[in-house]
Structure formats: structure tokens, C-alpha cells
């Protein structure tokens, strides 16, 4: 079992696009949306995973992730997911020793752009890039599982 430690922020401008080293298309859905643990299916370009995530404790939670065949993942997204399948573009942005993942959501969440950074410890300090605004780590309104369940944060301005 691995621990996922990440901080999440609202993106306030599009500077990340010119700073990105790559961009990927992601489609993901949830087989389980229980607050005690989610089960996610994700297809990123031509690779797929099933991921189980435990309950969040601030910026930290348990995580198990396994690669699966893309054809199986696509069938699961079509047939067995709860809620909506989320589609987004993920930009990978290096900034002062960390790789930031910036998600520009498509579909019903179009206009929402979030950035997250994975850390090696909960007390690790990280320099904030010029495209991030308010921190929303631990706010369930911004969990991808909440977005898939149809709950969308209000008051988000598009960039």
C-alpha cells in the first residue's frame, strides 16, 4: 500500500499552458463512490489503471493502483461506473523541484481548472507557481469523485 500526499489548488490563469512539458487526455469514472473508499477506473491516452483510495486525512490517504488492459477499462467506464465519466486534459508542469498536475475539465465541468502537487511528506514545503490561487486541499467539493457524482463547486470562474 502506498500513501498519497497531495495538495490541491484552484488555477487562476492560463500560464500553466506555456510552462507545461506535456499534456494528456484522461477519462475516468468510479465503480464505487463511498466516502470510506473510492474505486476509480482511469484511461490516460493509451494506458489504464484501477485505483482504490482510502478516506482522506487532510492531504494524505491510502492508495492502491494497478495497470489494467485499456479495452477492459473502456468497457468498465461504459458499463459499471457510478455517476458521470469525467474527461479532462492534464498538463504536467515542472516548477521548482516538483511536477504540478493541472487538470482542465471538459463536459459539464468545463471552465474548472485545478492544480495538484504530490509530496513526499505532509509537512513538506513547496513553492507555489504563479498560476495557483486558493488552496482547496481536503475540501470534498473539489474531489474528482464529487464531480463524478454530479456535485460541482459553485462560484468557480473560468480561465
Spatial separation of the C-alpha atoms in residues 53 and 16, rounded to whole Å:
27
The DSSP element (H or E) to which 75 belongs, if any, is helix 70-79
Place of cell 513526499: 120
For the record, the C-alpha cell of 110 comes out as 468545463
Give the DSSP letter of residue 57. Answer: B
Contact (Cβ atoms closer than 8 angstroms) between residue 93 and residue 21: yes
30 part of the active site: yes
Quote the Cα angle for 41-154-24, to 5°.
Answer: 35
Residue 158: φ, ψ to 5°: -80, 150
Catalytic residues: 30
Amino acid at each position: 500500500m502506498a500513501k498519497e500526499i497531495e495538495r490541491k489548488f484552484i488555477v487562476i490563469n492560463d500560464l500553466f499552458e506555456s510552462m507545461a512539458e506535456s499534456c494528456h487526455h484522461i477519462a475516468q469514472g468510479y465503480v464505487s463512490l463511498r466516502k470510506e473508499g473510492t474505486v476509480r477506473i482511469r484511461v490516460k491516452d493509451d494506458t489504464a489503471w484501477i485505483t482504490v483510495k482510502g478516506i482522506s486525512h487532510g492531504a494524505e490517504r491510502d492508495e492502491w493502483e494497478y495497470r489494467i488492459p485499456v479495452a477492459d477499462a473502456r468497457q468498465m467506464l461504459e458499463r459499471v461506473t457510478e455517476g458521470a465519466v469525467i474527461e479532462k486534459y492534464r498538463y504536467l508542469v515542472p516548477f521548482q523541484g516538483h511536477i504540478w498536475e493541472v487538470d482542465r475539465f471538459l463536459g459539464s465541468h468545463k471552465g474548472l481548472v485545478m492544480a495538484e502537487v504530490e509530496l513526499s511528506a505532509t509537512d513538506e514545503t513547496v513553492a507555489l507557481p504563479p498560476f495557483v490561487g486558493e488552496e482547496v486541499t481536503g475540501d470534498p467539493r473539489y474531489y474528482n469523485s464529487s464531480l463524478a457524482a454530479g456535485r460541482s463547486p459553485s462560484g468557480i470562474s473560468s480561465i
